[in-house]
Amino acid sequence: MTEFQQKLENKKVLVTGGAGFIGSNLCETLINLNTKVVCLDNFATGHRHNLDAIKDNENFQLIEGDIRNLETCHKACKNVDYVLHEAALGSVPRSLADPITSNEVNISGFLNMLVAARDAGVKRFVYAASSSTYGDSEKLPKVEDEIGKPLSPYAITKYVNELYADIFQDAYKLDTIGLRYFNVFGRKQDPNGAYAAVIPKFVMKFMNHESPVINGDGTYSRDFTYIDNVLQMNLLALTTDNADAINEVYNTAVGERTNLVELTKLLKKHLSEFDPEIAKVEVKHGPKRAGDIPHSLASVEKAENLLGYDASHRIDEGLKEAIAWYWGNLKP
């Protein structure tokens, strides 16, 4: 029995946004640890098929509802030990196109969940924060206590989440931990839609022998983080006994950056193992995207020191696993 299983077996964990990319991976991981899981999702961006592997498990409960409804949040938090709050409207471009809805979900919905967790006596509230909080700070690597001015409505909402979490600890003694995700990728990530993430979007383009379009000259870089690293961070945040680790925010990343030109080369390399013709597909370039930060690179020293984090997958290892999954599940 693993340490995680010892601490989480027969505990009850609520995963909001549990039908989404990260949320569904968390639900499945927890079920495999013999944890009781409640999934709350309104299926605005999540998918029912993400839950196929666990939907009939006796330890799994699905609540279809919206975090913008406080009564729903109270229902979901009833008798729950821990909350993993993943529900949000992601995407910088989406928030620029519709800042009001992003604010309602990401701030009002977040506050509803904090209130419901407080009222239910939840032991710990772990939430998805974002690297977008670093804003216009040019310092690399990004260190948790040094942020800049937000560059999008989405970034503002995720920063406000951190401020609210801090207040709820001070005022109500609700233990919180925020995980600032850096460009997460991997199995179950949706390649479709206007706001699809770059890796699954490019993978689908290559598999269709179509040219992906890089915004700008391709020198912008990101700390691409494989889903298994994110799962590890969430489990560590849920189970840590280190008092100094509670009520903090942590970069959830690898600590290495890859620019978009390098990324497309890696994608072509791994995809060409399945289809050699993909090596011939050219990449196109378009205009820069509003609200994008040029470079993102995390320091993971704080997570290593306080949580015992040890990234299991670098970019190349993660892409190899992710592409095998994409090919087996998303190939047209």
Relative orientation angle of helices 153-172 and 109-120, to the nearest 10 degrees: 20
Pick the residue with more confidence: 59 or 192? 59
**DSSP per residue over 133-185, as a string?**
GGTT---SSB-TT------SHHHHHHHHHHHHHHHHHHHH---EEEEEE-SEE
Q: pLDDT for 46-97, tens place per residue? A: 999 999 999 999 999 999 999 999 999 999 999 999 999 999 998 888 999 9
pLDDT band at 105 (very low <50, low <70, confident <90, very high): very high
Tokens linked to 57: 């498990």
Give the largest CA-CA distance in the chain. 59
Whether 1 shows a pLDDT value over 60: the answer reads no
Q: How far apart are CA 320 and CA 332, in angstroms?
A: 19
Q: Would you please indicate which residues are annotated as catalytic (active-site) residues?
A: 154
Choose the weakest-confidence range: 11-15, 24-28, 285-289, 324-328. Answer: 285-289
How open is the CA angle 205-209-213, to the nearest 5 degrees?
A: 45
Whether 251 shows a pLDDT value over 80: the answer reads yes
How open is the CA angle 187-12-84, to the nearest 5 degrees?
A: 50
Would you state the pLDDT for residue 196? 72
The total of other beta-carbon atoms located within 10 Å of residue 325's CB is: 15
pLDDT band at 288 (very low <50, low <70, confident <90, very high): confident
- Domains recognised in the chain with CATH numbers: 3-185+225-255+298-313 (3.40.50.720)
Whether 291 shows a pLDDT value over 70: the answer reads no
Whether 331 shows a pLDDT value over 80: the answer reads no
Mean pLDDT for the chain overall: 94
Q: How far apart are CA 312 and CA 232, in angstroms?
A: 9
Would you state the pLDDT for residue 216? 87
User: Within 13 Å of residue 153, how many CA atoms lie on the same side as its CB?
Assistant: 19
Choose the weakest-confidence range: 9-13, 59-63, 284-288. Answer: 284-288
Measure the CA dihedral 151/156/161/163, to 10°.
Answer: 90
Whether 241 shows a pLDDT value over 60: the answer reads yes
The total of other beta-carbon atoms located within 10 Å of residue 237's CB is: 26
Tell me the average pLDDT across 119-148.
95
Return the closest-CA partner of residue 168 out of 113, 129, 87: 113
Would you state the pLDDT for residue 108? 98
Percent of the chain with pLDDT over 70: 98
Are the CB atoms for 18 and 86 separated by under 8 Å?
A: yes
Tokens linked to 207: 């598999």
Q: How far apart are CA 261 and CA 32, in angstroms?
A: 37
Percent of the chain with pLDDT over 90: 88
DSSP-derived letter for residue 104 is I
Would you state the pLDDT for residue 287? 87
